[in-house]
Structure 1
Amino acid sequence: MNVVLSRNFASAFGLTLICSLLGSYLAGFPYLEVIGALVISLILGMLAQTYEPAISYSQAGIGLISNKFLRLGIILLGFKLNLISLAQAGVKTITLAVFIVTGTILVTYNIARRFGVEDHLAILTASGTGICGAAAVMGISSQFTSKEGQEERDREDEVVAVAIVAILGTLFTLIEIGLKPLLHMTAVQFGVMTGGSLHEIAHAVAAGSAGGPVSLDTAIITKLSRVLLLAPAAIIIGLWYQRKRAKAAGSTNGEKGSLPIPWFMLGFILASVIGTFVPLGAPVLAMLVKLAYLVLGMAMAALGMSVNFRVLLTRGRNALIASTISSVILLTFVILMSKLLF
């Protein structure tokens, strides 16, 4: 049995690694860099479903990779966060990030619920829109335990949420680049706008670079200020969701669930501390960040191999509308704040 599992894992490892490497390669092309390596890896994983014999043989390993490799990738992504640079960005940038993340999650979730979107999909879409795209969707989803018989539907929700932030992030990247000459912003203001409003790090980089090096640096710092909030957001959302589910189940026995501490998020913070204060050197840090995206790409590919993407056209439609509305509100808010404060 162990031999079979080992072979399943080896097969899944090879398939997802190919998708991740190819996703990283394709993301280097001019028109595909806006989409980003993680989303491309997800799409490649979905396309790999057409080779059914390999997918069926690797199914057990695919589930392991989509779960464990996700956590490892998010931990390694912590090396991208330089805490000193974030501190130097000032109180204004951090405060703005807190308002953006909190406000966007609340607005997106409530709009989605008004449109009839289920709780699980609504909070995943809201988290991806407010924090950092696909990584936030997967990080927040790991806080939730699927009910018996609900596992496949929850995985579909993850894919739908990732697809939504990928579509909107790409669309709003193009919109913000088009708005640049009309807004008459300084390089810093444009960087704050792109980093504060766009969904993925890749989106912020693509749009921020259109304003020059100062704009790009500002966009990255602003975006990473939002990424830093992934850990506390995961704890708060996990605890809220746990209590909401217990209340819905009619729990009246006075027992309280344990605090859903995402241990891999603590690893994420520890990695950022090490990357900031331990003299590892720029080449080592760059290698660790590349490894983070490689591992996350494998997790995204594994997710794509296990879920039918067509659910986006059914259950994902209202969530997409809700996220679109909140993204417009977010962009308007960030434009105003960047003009007033920076």
Structure 2
Amino acid sequence: MFAIFKSSRFYLAVGLTLFCSLLGSFLAGFPYLQVIGALVLALVLGMVLQVFQPVVTQAKSGIGFISNKFLRLGIILLGFKLNLIDLAHAGVKTILLAIFVVSGTLVLTYNLARKLGVEQRLAILAASGTGICGAAAVMGISPQLPVAPEQAEQKQEDEVLAVAIVAILGTVFTLIELGLKPLLHMTPQQFGVMTGGSLHEIAHAVAAGSAGGPVSLDTAIITKLSRVLLLAPAALIIGIWYSRSNHISTGAGQHKLPIPWFMGGFILASVVGTFLPLGAAVLAALVKFAYLFLGMAMAALGMSVNFRVILQRGGKAFLAASISSCILLAFVIVASKLFF
């Protein structure tokens, strides 16, 4: 593994993906692009780089490393964004809502997708992104779905497709919820619960929640982070279930249970960030590094996209996620009105 650090192709890949990640973060600061988010913008910029195919081909070996290892590092660092005390103060109702939202949306989206004929792996990734936290969930769950080497390219296509689905739906539903705001007559807390409980990316929850004022924004972030916290147990459960279901269907030998060690790092980072006096500036820097590495991983993914395959395979998964997103929004509106 260490040999790759001596390769000029690796540093070319680092340079390209770092450029996309930094540019994505910069563009996400603009009002109309803020709703899309830095991670999705980095993915799109990686796709655009395919115009320079000879350069991308040169960097190919490094791209695979970045999309795998930098992804895990980014998710570990993202744990510093989770303040466990703030989540505890949010109360049992918020945690219970997150559990219902994540588990219900995962099961609903997966089963809808399978009924429509979507392949198992793509159905799981689309369900994870819809139910938990968008692109970060897709990339966090994906390592729990091991494939044979000859299927690695198709798995990357599934990842990109699932990210694209949640990016488009998250943006559309952000605009829908902003349009519904004057019609629902919610308190700032209720509106924050609705946005944080139903939208796909953290960026979507922030963009919509901020429209309701500071109380609404804080509530949206806490509610959304309650869902993010469930990424680690969801990854473990999905990984075990996926291994067992494939063992039954293929008749293969025993599979080693996929323990997501980087998710342990994610939880450890949240514990350290919560209970050690690191200071707000240090925590903010660590979270920025998290998004930097995640952006690089997303850019690497974008640089390896097969557009033709995505267009051919995306329709049914998009339909399943759209239906479940509508049901999710209706459920969270009712729950926020009744319990918050």
Return the TM-score normalized by structure 1: 0.97
Within 2, Cα distance between the matches of 1:173 and 1:314?
27
Contact 1:160 1:309 in 2 (8 A): no
Q: 1:6: Cα distance to partner?
A: 1.7
Say if 2:130 is the partner of 1:129. yes
In angstroms, what is the RMSD of aligned CA positions? Answer: 1.3
Give the aligned partner of residue 200 of structure 1.
Answer: 201
Give the aligned partner of residue 326 of structure 1.
Answer: 324
Contact 1:5 1:60 in 2 (8 A): no
Q: 1:146: Cα distance to partner?
A: 1.3
Contact 1:48 1:55 in 2 (8 A): yes
Within 2, Cα distance between the matches of 1:3 and 1:73?
20
Contact 2:188 2:216 in 1 (8 A): yes
Instruction: Please give the residue correspondences for 1:19-98 in structure 2 after superposition, counting only pairs within 5 Å.
Output: 19-98=20-99
Give the aligned partner of residue 168 of structure 1.
Answer: 169
- Corresponding residue SS for 2:35: coil
Within 2, Cα distance between the matches of 1:280 and 1:241?
38
Instruction: Tell me the alpha carbon deviations over residues 75-103 of structure 1, each in whole angstroms, 9 at most, x when there is no partner.
Output: 00000000000000000000110000000
Q: Which amino acid aligns with 1:204?
A: A
**Deviation beyond 4 Å, 4+ runs, structure 1:** 1-5
Instruction: Please give the residue correspondences for 1:1-342 in structure 2 after superposition, counting only pairs within 5 Å.
Output: 2=3, 6-251=7-252, 256-342=254-340
Contact 2:14 2:66 in 1 (8 A): yes
Within 2, Cα distance between the matches of 1:2 and 1:108?
41
Q: Which amino acid aligns with 1:120?
A: R
Contact 1:160 1:311 in 2 (8 A): no
Return the TM-score normalized by structure 2: 0.98
Contact 1:159 1:309 in 2 (8 A): no
Contact 2:138 2:159 in 1 (8 A): yes
* Larger helix fraction of residues: 2
Contact 1:46 1:308 in 2 (8 A): no
Instruction: Tell me the alpha carbon deviations over residues 36-67 of structure 1, each in whole angstroms, 9 at most, x when there is no partner.
Output: 00000000000001111210110000000000
Within 2, Cα distance between the matches of 1:283 and 1:309?
40
Q: 1:2: Cα distance to partner?
A: 4.5
Q: 1:111: Cα distance to partner?
A: 0.3
Contact 2:4 2:10 in 1 (8 A): no
Q: Which amino acid aligns with 2:129?
A: G
Contact 2:193 2:223 in 1 (8 A): yes
Q: Which amino acid aligns with 2:267?
A: I
Within 1, Cα distance between the matches of 2:234 and 2:197?
17
Instruction: Tell me the alpha carbon deviations over residues 183-204 of structure 1, each in whole angstroms, 9 at most, x when there is no partner.
Output: 0000000000000000000000
Within 1, Cα distance between the matches of 2:69 and 2:303?
16
Within 2, Cα distance between the matches of 1:169 and 1:22?
21
Q: 1:250: Cα distance to partner?
A: 2.1
Q: 1:72: Cα distance to partner?
A: 0.1
TM-aligned CA distance change 1:138 to 1:7, over 3 Å: same
Instruction: Tell me the alpha carbon deviations over residues 245-295 of structure 1, each in whole angstroms, 9 at most, x when there is no partner.
Output: 1111124xxx64332110000000000000000000000000000110011
Percent identity between matched residues is: 72
Within 2, Cα distance between the matches of 1:187 and 1:273?
29
Q: 1:117: Cα distance to partner?
A: 0.2
Within 1, Cα distance between the matches of 2:338 and 2:309?
41
Q: Which amino acid aligns with 1:134?
A: A
TM-aligned CA distance change 1:3 to 1:283, over 3 Å: closer
TM-aligned CA distance change 1:181 to 1:310, over 3 Å: farther
- Corresponding residue SS for 2:32: coil
Within 1, Cα distance between the matches of 2:325 and 2:61?
37
- Corresponding residue SS for 1:324: helix
Which range is displaced more, 210-219 or 141-150? Answer: 141-150
- Corresponding residue SS for 2:59: helix
- Corresponding residue SS for 2:144: coil
Instruction: Tell me the alpha carbon deviations over residues 131-181 of structure 1, each in whole angstroms, 9 at most, x when there is no partner.
Output: 000000001001121124111111000000000000000000000000000
Contact 1:97 1:196 in 2 (8 A): yes
Within 1, Cα distance between the matches of 2:329 and 2:201?
14
Structure 2, unaligned runs of 5 or more: none
Q: 1:309: Cα distance to partner?
A: 3.2
Structure 1, unaligned runs of 5 or more: none
